[in-house]
Amino acid sequence: MRTIAAVTVITTAFTLFTGCSNVTMLRTKELKLVKESVDSLHSELTSMQGRMMKEQKTHTELLRLMRADQQVRFNEIDRKVSAIEGNLSDNQYRLSKIDEKTAEFQKKFEAKIIFDSLAGNVRTAEIENLFQISMNDFNAGRYDIALSGFQDLIKKYPDAAVAQDAEYYIAECNYAKKSYNNAESAYMGYIKKYPQGSKMCVALFKLGLVYDKQGKPKSQKMVWKKLLEQCPDSDEAKVARSRVQN
């Protein structure tokens, strides 16, 4: 019995030992696999960390380059802004000088306008005075003095508005003096120079009278024909028509 019991104990112990050994081997394999998995993960992690560090280094370098480029651009912008400010300051100075010159020119221009206006008024008054004096001499029968006055007015103020009337009265002075050749030249000069003049009709009529005094009936007929054509309703035309009919 003791022998059987001992054998049983030994058998049981062997069985237990064998079972434990199998479990240990299984555990060892599992641990080995876990260790291999951990090592693989560790290796992969290390690789990822290396890539991340490399990428981070690349990003850092790019960031540094970008900041350097931005700094260069900022410096260039500052330089341009400074240049613009300098130009603005220079332009403002020039504009101030221009404003000063403009104000000075404006004052001179205004003064010139005032002077020209006064000079124009004086000139107009002098022309009117000269013409009126000559007309007074003409109306008073002082034909030589009136003739000289009208001639001086035209010589001094050829562009004056009354220069046209002065030329007509030069012809009238010569006609009144019975200087018919001079009167003829003066009337013809007026007619040619002022074809639309205010004295055109009467100048044609008086030129016809000059031709009558000179004994030139053909010339008289020709000039009065022009009078009748050009001024058919004028008083001079009525007189000329009546004289031609008679």
186-200 residue pLDDT tens: 999 999 999 999 999
- pLDDT in the model for residue 114: 58
What tokens were used for 35? Answer: 């260790």
7: pLDDT strictly greater than 60: no
- pLDDT in the model for residue 113: 62
* 40-86 pLDDT, tens digit each: 888 887 888 888 888 878 877 877 887 887 788 878 887 887 888 78
**Average confidence score pLDDT of the chain:** 84
Predicted model pTM: 0.54
- pLDDT in the model for residue 188: 97
Spatial contact of 149 and 172, defined as CB atoms under 8 Å apart: no
* 197-237 pLDDT, tens digit each: 999 999 999 999 999 999 999 999 999 999 999 999 999 99
- pLDDT in the model for residue 83: 83
Q: Per-residue confidence at 126, pLDDT binned at 50, 70, 90?
A: very high
Q: Per-residue confidence at 115, pLDDT binned at 50, 70, 90?
A: low
